[in-house]
Every structure is written in structure tokens, then in C-alpha cells.
Amino acid sequence: AQKVTQAQTEISVVEKEDVTLDCVYETRDTTYYLFWYKQPPSGELVFLIRRNSFDEQNEISGRYSWNFQKSTSSFNFTITASQVVDSAVYFCALSEETGANNLFFGTGTRLTVIP
Amino acid sequence: AAGVIQSPRHLIKEKRETATLKCYPIPRHDTVYWYQQGPGQDPQFLISFYEKMQSDKGSIPDRFSAQQFSDYHSELNMSSLELGDSALYFCASSTFYNEQFFGPGTRLTVL
């Protein structure tokens, strides 16, 4: 069965600090997809990244970067030089090829960036 | 760019009433998903449709039903509402097996 674990329930950092959000997943499928979504206080879910299981190349997008390691079943997310606008709940999610593309979410990490 | 549209954005109902939530996917997206997010919880998958056919079913109560219409919009029908149904209901859309884009959600409050 699939499972996504975000062990960090809440994190607080001071503005301009770097922060890494951890995500560990479990799946029996060999083909799967990993995602990060951001949920700001306004409530919407904002898509950040999708990574397939065959692409372990790390990705950088502006201040965001993602580290995918199949050996440890982890897909961690780092925000560099955090800003107040980064304050949100961040969800890691998994979809399996056999699962009709449905998303299984972790429990989320609430990030608070203090000015 | 066009996004997923959900209506209504807020809905207040009494126990045992019915509710209908609507979702209009991004143009040319053929797949629609419904998720329920309780207070302080992560979103839970309810049901999905691909090309107007149900493609998968998650933790959707028997009191709920959904369908996707010929114009690809979808409706989630909820009957005999209970207090525990109070939640944020998200619709998401995608092209087949690609990333899902979420609507703003419908916040349902059952009194």
C-alpha cells in the first residue's frame, strides 16, 4: 500500500534562512510520481512540481529545489532565502501508475517564516 | 491561463439536507478528480472520472455520488448531510495521467 510521511508537522524559520521539508514515501509500484503542493492561508492548492520515478535528477526553480533519492525513498524540498510569502502548508503527494493517477497526500508541513 | 472553476465557493447546509458541488475543468482536460479536506487534515481522494467514465473510487461515502458530463464538467452530489461532512472540497483536472491542477475549493459547512 502507498504511504507518504511528512514527519515535520510545523517548522518556523526567520526570513532569509534556508529550510528543507522532508518527505518519505512507500509504494510497491515501479512507476510512480511524486509531487509537492503549496496551500497558503487562502486555502487553494498550488502545484509546485511533479517528478516521475525514473528521473532522479534534482531540480531547481528559483529559490526552490528538490532532492529525489530512490535509495532512501525520499523527495525533499528546500526553500532558499525564505520569504514571508512562503508561509503555508506544504504537502508532498504520490500517485501510482496502477492507481489511475489519484494523489495520496502526506499530512503536510506548516511552514511559518518570521519577518 | 484558465483555471479550474468550482461553484459555489461557500455553502452552508443543515443536517440531512442535500448539496451539489460543481466543477469546471481547465479546457481540454479530460480527467476530473474530487478530494475532501477536513479541518487540519490532508486532502483525501474521493472519486475521479476520465472521459465521462468513473476511473477510480476512493473513500467516498455511499451518500455521495458524482458524474462527469459531456462538456467535461463534473458535479458532486451529497445527500443526508452530516456534521462530519463539513470540509473543503477540491476539484482537480488534468490531461490523462499528467499533473493535477486544483480549483479554489468549495467550503461546505453543515450545521
Q: What are the pLDDT digits (tens) for B42-87?
A: 999 999 999 999 998 998 999 999 999 999 999 999 999 999 999 9
Q: How far is A83 from chain B (nearest CA, A)?
A: 23
* Cell numbers representing residue A112 in the block: 511559518
A25 in B contact zone (CB under 8 Å):
no
- Using CA atoms, how far apart are residues B1 and B78, in angstroms rounded to an integer? 31
What is the three-class DSSP state of A2?
coil
What confidence tens digit (pLDDT) does each residue in A39-82 have?
999 999 999 999 999 988 888 899 999 999 999 999 999 999 99
Q: What letter represents residue A2's amino acid?
A: Q
pLDDT of residue B73: 96
Closest residue of chain B to A103, computed from CA coordinates: B45
- Yes or no, beta carbons of A43 and B107 under 8 Å apart: yes
C-alpha cell at position B14: 443543515
Could you tell me the pLDDT band of residue A99, with boundaries at 50, 70 and 90? low
In A, which residues are within 8 Å of B50 by CB distance?
100
* d(C-alpha A39, C-alpha B32), whole Å: 20
Distance (Å) of CA B84 to CA A12, B37, B38, B63, B108: 31, 11, 8, 13, 10
**Does the pLDDT value for residue B96 go beyond 90?**
no
Q: Residue A29 corresponds to which amino acid?
A: D
Are the beta carbons of A101 and B42 separated by less than 8 Å? Answer: no
Distance between CA B26 and CA B103 in Å, rounded? 9
- Judge whether residue A100 has pLDDT over 80: no
Q: What's the mean pLDDT in B22-46?
A: 95
Q: Does residue A5 surpass a pLDDT of 80?
A: yes
pLDDT at residue A7 is higher than 90: yes
